[in-house]
Amino acid sequence: MHELSIAMSIVELAEEEAERRGVQINAVHLKLGVLSGVVKEALLSCYEMACEGSPLQGSRLVVKDVAIVIFCPNCRAQRPLTSMQMFCCPECGTPTSEIVHGKELEVVALEIEECMPNPV
Amino acid sequence: MHAEPRLIEVRKNVLKQNDVVARSLRDRFRAAGVFVVSLVSSPGSGKTAFLEKILTLLRSNYRVAALVGDLATENDALRLARSKAPVRQITTGTLCHLEAAMVQNALEEEEWDINRLDFLFIENVGNLVCPSSYDLGEDLRIVLISVTEGEDKPLKYPTIFNSADVAVVTKIDLAAAVEFSWETAYKNIQSVRPGMQVFKLSAKTGEGMEEQLNFLGARLSQLRQSAVV
């Protein structure tokens, strides 16, 4: 269970970004790879806890799952992996451990509310 | 004041802070010419027994030291002290994994001169999930599974096998007693991580330890040669 420390890093990172841009954050969009070692459900419940008492309190965490994509050295192409238990090309069956996608743990976007002064 | 919601794009790796520390550790290790090996496994797979044995054996030809992560006790450090190699415990409390900053702090507190080391071992907390996300600046990550855990461990934890460089099957002296099939285990490892090098050994009987010693020795020479070029 390391999801709480991951959630705290996300909040910290978003807070910095919010402060730098002078904005209020409504939601944080995260790309989460199947091979990131982080469990989505646990992360979502930890996120709420991590936000408590911070400027992000009440914000949402929007998680986009990223499936595993491997590079097949035989087809010379990227292919989606069909089973996490079988690292081989779904087209030709060549075994490969070259992972192109699936390890992501990345904040990709912030939903913000921009505070703008009233027109004079 | 009026508010206008919109989406702004950012691209930030959540573990960036850890990665930055890990990179600076790796640079330091490179400059010092020390080969750094980390060990990951589930609790009870024999990381400490393996480490005690390998430290004892390596010590006759190399300068070695070890950092050991443990949740609450100092038992592992006490066991490893028998190898007579310098050992430092990192007590993680309730944290289920080591992070690069913990390695950095431990090295600073211990004031080891890493320039005078050949091998530094880092034993992670017993856990097959959480340590996979954290780079510790190591050159080699070994995942250990014991024969008593069954052959399907790799299929259950493909993530850790994909974050490690080589696999070691431990307690091979018990293989017959628990009807462990080396072929099945090997096949399962290759299935989740094609091409992964797999060793089998017993820290208790010493079987397979020499192969492991030779392997680590060769990796150290490789590191030193690439540093010269």
Q: Which pLDDT belongs to residue B77?
A: 81
Q: Are A100 and A34 in contact (CB under 8 A)?
A: no
Residue-wise burial string across A16-54, b where 16 or more C-beta atoms lie within 10 A, e elsewhere: ebbeeeebbbbbbbbbbbbbbbbeeeebbebbeebbeeb
The domain spanning residue B134 has which CATH number? 3.40.50.300
Number of compact structural domains in chain A: 1
Q: Is A92 helix (H, G, I), strand (E, B) or coil?
A: coil
Find the distance separating the first CA and the last CA of chain A, reported in whole Å. Answer: 52
Number of compact structural domains in chain B: 1
Report the residue from B4, B9, B190 with minimal CB separation from A114: B4
Chain B residues in contact with A86 by the CB 8 A cut-off are: 191-192
Phi, psi of B24 (to 5 degrees): -70, -35
- Evaluate whether residue A119 is within a structural domain: no
- Evaluate whether residue B47 is within a structural domain: yes
- Evaluate whether residue B22 is within a structural domain: no
- Evaluate whether residue B149 is within a structural domain: yes
Identify which of B121, B154, B144, B152 has the alpha carbon closest to the alpha carbon of residue B202.
B144
CA distance to B53, B179, B206, per residue, from B49 (Å): 6, 22, 11
Q: Which pLDDT belongs to residue A115?
A: 62
Chain A residues in contact with B95 by the CB 8 A cut-off are: 2, 5
CA angle A93, A99, A100 (to 5 degrees): 110
pLDDT of A114 > 90? The answer is no
Q: Is B33 helix (H, G, I), strand (E, B) or coil?
A: coil
* Calpha distance A29→B9 (Å, rounded): 9
- Evaluate whether residue A91 is within a structural domain: yes
Contacts of residues A73-80 at CB distance under 8 Å and 24 or more positions apart, as own/partner, are A73/A98
Q: Which pLDDT belongs to residue B73?
A: 73
- Evaluate whether residue A80 is within a structural domain: yes
Contacts of residues A70-77 at CB distance under 8 Å and 24 or more positions apart, as own/partner, are A70/A96, A70/A97, A70/A98, A70/A99, A70/A100, A71/A96, A71/A98, A71/A99, A71/A100, A72/A96, A73/A98
CA distance to B147, B182, B217, per residue, from B135 (Å): 27, 30, 23
- Evaluate whether residue B207 is within a structural domain: yes
Cα B20 to the center of its chain, rounded Å = 19
* Calpha distance B94→B208 (Å, rounded): 34
- Evaluate whether residue A120 is within a structural domain: no
Query: What is the average pLDDT value for chain A, to the nearest integer?
Result: 92
Q: What pLDDT digit, counting tens, does each position of B145-201 carry?
A: 999 999 999 999 999 999 999 999 999 999 999 999 999 999 999 999 999 999 999
Q: Which pLDDT belongs to residue B227?
A: 77
* Calpha distance B219→A17 (Å, rounded): 42
CB contact under 8 A, A10 and B8: no
- Evaluate whether residue B15 is within a structural domain: no
Q: What pLDDT digit, counting tens, does each position of A39-83 carry?
A: 999 999 999 999 999 999 999 999 999 999 999 999 999 999 999
pLDDT of A104 > 90? The answer is yes
Q: How far is B95 from chain A (nearest CA, A)?
A: 7
Residue-range definition of the domain harbouring residue B131: 33-228
For residues B84 and A27, the model is more confident at: A27
- Evaluate whether residue B77 is within a structural domain: yes
Q: State the CB neighbour count (10 A cutoff) for residue A100.
A: 13
- Evaluate whether residue A105 is within a structural domain: yes
- Evaluate whether residue B6 is within a structural domain: no
CA B155, B160, B166, B167 dihedral sign is negative
User: Mean pLDDT of residues grouped by 10 in chain B (229 residues)?
Assistant: 76 92 97 97 94 95 93 79 89 85 93 93 92 95 97 96 97 97 98 97 97 97 84
ipTM value: 0.83
Residue-range definition of the domain harbouring residue A52: 3-114
- Evaluate whether residue B200 is within a structural domain: yes
* Calpha distance B99→B105 (Å, rounded): 10
Q: Which candidate in B2, B11, B12, B96 is best for mutational testing of the A interface (most A CBs within 10 A)?
A: B12
Nearest CA in chain B to A4: B95
